[in-house]
Structure 1
Amino acid sequence: MGLDQLNNLWTAIFPLAVLLYYFFRKKYVTTTISSTLFWERSMRETKVSPYLKNLQQNALFYLQMAALLLFLFVLLKPYVAEENVVGEHSIFVIDTSASMGAMVDGVSLFERNKKKLLALAEEKEGEAISVITTGKEPSFLLREEKDLRLILGTIDQLELNYEHEHMDRAIEIVQSIAKTGGADVHIFTDYLDRSFFMENENGISWNVHNNDKPLTNIAIEKFGAVSSQNHTEAIVKLKNESAMKLEGTVLLKNELTGEQLASENVVVEGQSEELLSFKELPVMTVVSVKIEAEDDYLLDNEAIVLLGKESTEVIVDVQLHELVKKAFEAIGLTVTTGSTNELNLSRDQAILVTNQTSFLDEGTEPILLIGRNDVSAEEVAGDIETVPNPLFTVASIEEVYVSELYPPFEGFTTLASINDRPFIQQSSRGDIVVLTDIDLTDWPLHPSFPLFFWSASELLRTDRELIGSFTPNERKAIVTGGAESLELFTLDDQYVTTFTDGNSFVAPSKPGIYKLLDEGNESFLSVQLDAAEKTVADGKGYQLGSTQQKNQEEGKRLIGWLFLLPVLLLLVLEWEVQRRRGYPNS
């Protein structure tokens, strides 16, 4: 037998304190009174032995000390050594992608797999179990856990995250933790091909639990819409993955108003595609399409399009510094340089970046103006001061040095200034004006340089009412109004979550339309399924490889809990002694 928690020996101060209390409590002097001498002699024969008398007089002390010492012993966690049979490390990999929501006999694949997992965990009671969920970033929910109750509770709380499974990433994690000690790996998914696994992986047993029942599925493979000043046009591409012919009804709806715009009955042959076109639809912001059909996978039966200006192309004036083009390339946009004529031809299809002030009076779309070609710059000195604005939510520019500034535009709003002179302005149309040339600053040396152009492009290429489209759980910074917190709601006003700022934004997991409240301003975003999640597959399960043999190792069996009942019994006896005797004064 041994003690597993010797660091708890400090609690010995409590019984020592009780002992010191009895040593230093008030003493009384025994005095003989003559009138009691006769009775004392008569009672000598009935007196108990001195040991028993001491026990009677100090029963409370002995009970208290016994209870405290026994409790101290429990805190030290006594144990007895025992031989344990150690089996394989079992790893459960659970596919939580959207396709696991497909229904089989009225139950989703995901719920079926959870039941299998629970049964398997109970069979492996006492063994170390790890639980991993799939996704862009596979999650370790448990790591070599042996507490069956905790394991079952974790599995029972699993939910779909609707991301593409990226099973190769989960398998890489499994291989990294099992390559030394081996593992019994169980993968629960709809279908995983044998080609994912390497040959001759010693000590790893792969058990793949596929869905072996063919599923019926018709999906909206692609959905696009274009809105002009007078009407909207939409195209829908359907794909039937089943061997049998499927019939259904395609419905188009204005998602914000709930108005049904069009409907069309459709028949799609097995293993084929169908293309539908809808014209002369009213102008709207958010349009959705849905196909009503009898199939086993419903999540890919809907799609949404936000009808905003979301150009990813930028045309930079050839007269501007080369670093402006490099900044836009660094944030992932398609960038070209162009002359004045090329800028004029492309202003409705791309973001224009120029120093020609004439573009401020032309067209309807805002531009980014860097410098001015109609006046000369003047020297300036001082620190940059900014006002709260989405331009500076991600990019802080206070430390940038600027040597010269151009005169400001009258009627424009000043967003940043140097010594009370406007540095960055914004027009009522939304044009963003930087009143200096890049070579007159040290801005390219600061991290805020490409971040500022990212913020500017986000403001110029999208409607403020629309944030954009995301995949489930996608992490992406968004341009906001600088509010202390952003609140996310569903379209029917159900609260989802709160973000501290635009940099911490993570898209919801469930596909649909959401509303974001930013300083009282309401904007919309959509969450769409990954293209790879618009298909389902099936196949028989299989097993590859083998695990290491079980072996014996020395373990510990804690026995401290056996002493809790004696501690409780001693406390009850102490209470009874006090109840009968009261608080003695001798």
Structure 2
Amino acid sequence: MGLMNPLFLLLAFFIASVLIFYMFRKRYENKMIPSNLLWEQVMNEWQASPWIEKLQRNLLLFLQLLILLLLMFALTRPYWMTKGIEGEHIILVVDTSASMSALHDGITRFDEAKEEISAIIKDLKHQEVTIITAGSVPNLLINKEVNINKIKKVVDGLKLSYEYSDMEKAFRLANSLAVNKDTSLFVFSDSIKAEDLNGMTGSIPISVFNMGNEGNNVSLKSFGIGEKEHHVTGISVIENQSKELKAATLLINTNENNVFEEKVTIEPGEQKFVKIPKLPVSEYYKAKIEVNDDYSIDNELIAVSRPSLMKVYLVGDVSPFIMKGLENIGYETIQMTEEDVERDLSNGIVVVENIPMEVWPKRPLLAITPDNNKEITIQSEIKTENDPVFQYVEFNKTFIQSAFSSNNINLPVIAKSGDIPLIQKGTVNGFPAMVIQFPIENTDWPLHTGFPIFLYQSFQWLAANEEFFGFFLPGEHRWLNVDADNNEWKVFTGNGKFIESFNLLEESFTAPQKPGIYQTVANEKTMYFAVNLDDREKSIPYSPSFRINQPLKESDQNVVNHPYDGLWFWLVFVALIVLFIEWEVMRRGTRI
């Protein structure tokens, strides 16, 4: 026990003053005494102990001393040590990555972290709380909240994102919020080390709770399929990350039917390759390993028979501006001759220039000046339709010297100058197609910042019309360009359970959080996509918990001094009651 304001003990001077006043004041009383023989004896006894006698006989003195003592101790604000959380502002950083779903003592690391957070909340004493979840980008859930019920509601609603958690970004956000207040930082993860916190302000007390332990894990590191001798074949890589021998069963599933099964035994630290010699033709394949380990989310992978279209085949004398622009946005360009268009182009998009429509390959296609017989100088203002490919492009500010007039391509016009079509967009031979009716070299378009944006959005539109439109990471946001007629997308699980809907003209597409195969339905057309775990989340690392800038390590939380704020009130309240009693004693003139 201690005192927060011990200086107020100097008020004991007033208590001594009251005693002095009582000791030295003169009191007289008239008495009729027939003889002084007995009086002399009483006087002798009284003089033998005068001060004690006076104290014993004066109730007012005791009451006044009690009032002064109560007031003095109320001002000193007595306290005693109690378990609590240090700091006026408490910042909680919570890792929501996939590795937090690993099991430890029958519960996940994430649930264990939520239990620790709930225990901390119980020890809060009117302190502000900030909660940050660490995913690919940090998310500020609440900031400087003091309402315990709101804090508990947010904690109860915490969920795994299955993303790779960029803890460095989360720490930078926490550091920016730890200003102008006495702050404590609590981190809940599984593998944070002291060097990961080098950017934090040096004086902030930091408690890192790394959940779980060095658990057992067998991971399906990779799974791919290909075509060999007109058969679909596959290969998978399984890694034993534990310290003991593990037996696992590899299953390949299509449309909820097992089409391949093989049992493997893997030594500690070993990677084993499993070849799948033959698989039936299917839209997608799901590989899964059945094994007794602590981390199941990395036991599945998706492979599709239709790869994401990231290759672009250039047929003819294609403008180098187009080629360079596509390479800059991540596409692999392959130059071809007209004679090569008969080969298999199913894994890519085709760009043709100065090639008639009659010989276009039956693929998603961008055509530049397919009919260059009649060239017309552009004189009128450029006007564009409200099409997604022109978002952030400002094509109407482009200088175009001339364009070719073509009457044999019956596609909707999305950009024109007067009656001259400049860009057309639609469907040819059952595949999406976009036609540019002017040579890129006769414009200043490549100098505009909107040129690569147009290429990106156009090729996203061309690729999105395939049955499979790509792989996503958990919770990944991506802008997809679609027609106005196909802007409403509904997302379902592989089993057909509805998840969410998107209006892609107004918002970006957000992939589901949990890895797996999903499907979208837009304008009665079904397309598949896969959510696969980030490769950095295919293990369950662990580091011991630790503390920084904290000398006390007696329990999970710091032991700090907490004043009992209500104690001073009760001391003053009792002093007031005693004061009323003292008034009543004085009023009645009671003497003992």
Post-superposition Cα deviations, 1:46-72, rounded to whole Å, max 9, x if no partner, equal xxxxxxxxxxxxxxxxxxxxxxxxxxx
Contact 1:314–1:334 under 8 Å retained in 2: yes
Say whether residues 1:485 and 2:488 are aligned partners: yes
Q: Say which is worse superposed, 535-544 or 387-396, in terms of deviation.
A: 387-396
Question: How much has 1:506 moved relative to structure 2?
Answer: 1.4
Contact 1:394–1:455 under 8 Å retained in 2: no
Corresponding residue of 1:107: 107
Corresponding residue of 1:238: 238
Q: C-alpha separation between the residues in 2 aligned to 1:498 and 1:127?
A: 40
Corresponding residue of 1:207: 207
Corresponding residue of 1:34: none
Contact 1:393–1:480 under 8 Å retained in 2: no
Give 1:433's match in structure 2, choosing from 393, 417, 435.
435
Corresponding residue of 1:117: 117
Say whether residues 1:521 and 2:525 are aligned partners: yes
What one-letter code is carried by the residue in structure 2 that aligns with 1:472? P
Q: Say which is worse superposed, 347-356 or 446-455, in terms of deviation.
A: 347-356
Counterparts in 2 of 1:374-385, with a 5 A limit? 375-379=373-377, 382=380
Counterparts in 2 of 1:148-227, with a 5 A limit? 148-178=148-178, 180-198=180-198, 201-227=201-227
Question: How much has 1:400 moved relative to structure 2?
Answer: 5.2
What one-letter code is carried by the residue in structure 2 that aligns with 1:427? V
Question: How much has 1:403 moved relative to structure 2?
Answer: 4.8
Q: Say which is worse superposed, 410-419 or 128-137, in terms of deviation.
A: 410-419
Corresponding residue of 2:280: 282
Say whether residues 1:129 and 2:129 are aligned partners: yes
Corresponding residue of 1:505: 509
Q: C-alpha separation between the residues in 1 aligned to 2:456 and 2:528?
A: 20
Q: C-alpha separation between the residues in 1 aligned to 2:465 and 2:114?
A: 43
Q: 1:390/1:284 Cα in 2 relative to 1: closer, same or farther (>3 Å)? A: farther
Post-superposition Cα deviations, 1:66-99, rounded to whole Å, max 9, x if no partner, equal xxxxxxxxxxxxxxxx999994422111111111
Question: How much has 1:498 moved relative to structure 2?
Answer: 2.1
Q: C-alpha separation between the residues in 2 aligned to 1:477 and 1:199?
A: 33
Question: How much has 1:159 moved relative to structure 2?
Answer: 0.9
Contact 1:472–1:507 under 8 Å retained in 2: yes
Counterparts in 2 of 1:392-403, with a 5 A limit? 397=395, 402-403=400-401
Q: 1:420/1:83 Cα in 2 relative to 1: closer, same or farther (>3 Å)? A: farther
Q: 1:84/1:137 Cα in 2 relative to 1: closer, same or farther (>3 Å)? A: farther
Q: C-alpha separation between the residues in 1 aligned to 2:177 and 2:533?
A: 31
Q: 1:364/1:342 Cα in 2 relative to 1: closer, same or farther (>3 Å)? A: closer
Post-superposition Cα deviations, 1:316-362, rounded to whole Å, max 9, x if no partner, equal 57844443234324423345767778999996765443414169626
Q: Say which is worse superposed, 287-296 or 440-449, in terms of deviation.
A: 440-449
What one-letter code is carried by the residue in structure 2 that aligns with 1:104? H
Contact 1:393–1:479 under 8 Å retained in 2: no
Question: How much has 1:370 moved relative to structure 2?
Answer: 1.3
What one-letter code is carried by the residue in structure 2 that aligns with 1:491? G
User: Between the two proteins, what is the percent identity of the paired residues?
Assistant: 24
Q: 1:356/1:84 Cα in 2 relative to 1: closer, same or farther (>3 Å)? A: farther
Question: How much has 1:278 moved relative to structure 2?
Answer: 1.2
Question: How much has 1:162 moved relative to structure 2?
Answer: 1.0
Q: 1:231/1:462 Cα in 2 relative to 1: closer, same or farther (>3 Å)? A: farther
What one-letter code is carried by the residue in structure 2 that aligns with 1:500? N
Q: C-alpha separation between the residues in 2 aligned to 1:212 and 1:436?
A: 62
Q: 1:344/1:478 Cα in 2 relative to 1: closer, same or farther (>3 Å)? A: same
Question: How much has 1:368 moved relative to structure 2?
Answer: 2.3
CA-atom RMSD, angstroms?
3.8
Say whether residues 1:295 and 2:325 are aligned partners: no
Q: In structure 2, the residue corresponding to 1:405 is in which secondary structure?
A: strand
Q: 1:313/1:523 Cα in 2 relative to 1: closer, same or farther (>3 Å)? A: closer
Corresponding residue of 1:23: none
Q: C-alpha separation between the residues in 1 aligned to 2:152 and 2:264?
A: 45
Post-superposition Cα deviations, 1:508-547, rounded to whole Å, max 9, x if no partner, equal 1121222222222221211111111111022321111149
Q: 1:519/1:350 Cα in 2 relative to 1: closer, same or farther (>3 Å)? A: closer
Question: How much has 1:265 moved relative to structure 2?
Answer: 0.8
Question: How much has 1:101 moved relative to structure 2?
Answer: 0.9
Q: 1:303/1:187 Cα in 2 relative to 1: closer, same or farther (>3 Å)? A: same
What one-letter code is carried by the residue in structure 1 that aligns with 2:466? R
Post-superposition Cα deviations, 1:117-158, rounded to whole Å, max 9, x if no partner, equal 101111123222211111122111121222222212211111
Question: How much has 1:263 moved relative to structure 2?
Answer: 1.0
Q: 1:124/1:439 Cα in 2 relative to 1: closer, same or farther (>3 Å)? A: same
Corresponding residue of 1:535: 539
Corresponding residue of 2:499: 496
Counterparts in 2 of 1:295-374, with a 5 A limit? 295-314=293-312, 316=314, 319-335=317-333, 351-357=349-355, 361=359, 364-372=362-370
Q: In structure 1, the residue corresponding to 2:163 is in which secondary structure?
A: coil
Corresponding residue of 1:73: none
Q: How high is the TM-score relative to the length of structure 2?
A: 0.70
Corresponding residue of 2:37: none
Counterparts in 2 of 1:85-100, with a 5 A limit? 87-100=87-100
Contact 2:308–2:469 under 8 Å retained in 1: no
Question: How much has 1:427 moved relative to structure 2?
Answer: 2.2
What one-letter code is carried by the residue in structure 1 that aligns with 2:547? Q
Corresponding residue of 1:573: none
Q: C-alpha separation between the residues in 1 aligned to 2:307 and 2:228?
A: 11
For structure 1, which runs of at least 5 residues remain unmatched after alignment? 1-81, 557-586
Q: How high is the TM-score relative to the length of structure 1?
A: 0.71
Q: In structure 1, the residue corresponding to 2:466 is in which secondary structure?
A: coil
Q: 1:202/1:224 Cα in 2 relative to 1: closer, same or farther (>3 Å)? A: same
Q: 1:142/1:417 Cα in 2 relative to 1: closer, same or farther (>3 Å)? A: closer
Q: C-alpha separation between the residues in 2 aligned to 1:231 and 1:200?
A: 56
Contact 2:315–2:353 under 8 Å retained in 1: yes
Say whether residues 1:265 and 2:269 are aligned partners: no
Contact 1:481–1:519 under 8 Å retained in 2: no
Say whether residues 1:454 and 2:456 are aligned partners: yes
Contact 2:357–2:370 under 8 Å retained in 1: no
Q: 1:294/1:315 Cα in 2 relative to 1: closer, same or farther (>3 Å)? A: same
Q: C-alpha separation between the residues in 2 aligned to 1:350 and 1:465?
A: 13
What one-letter code is carried by the residue in structure 1 that aligns with 2:283? T
Q: Say which is worse superposed, 330-339 or 210-219, in terms of deviation.
A: 330-339
Contact 2:234–2:278 under 8 Å retained in 1: no
Q: C-alpha separation between the residues in 1 aligned to 2:325 and 2:298?
A: 38
Question: How much has 1:224 moved relative to structure 2?
Answer: 1.4
Q: In structure 2, the residue corresponding to 1:204 is in which secondary structure?
A: coil
Q: 1:349/1:358 Cα in 2 relative to 1: closer, same or farther (>3 Å)? A: farther
Q: C-alpha separation between the residues in 2 aligned to 1:359 and 1:240?
A: 55
Post-superposition Cα deviations, 1:351-407, rounded to whole Å, max 9, x if no partner, equal 443414169626554442212476342345556677787756786756656553334
Q: C-alpha separation between the residues in 1 aligned to 2:298 and 2:369?
A: 49
Contact 1:378–1:406 under 8 Å retained in 2: yes
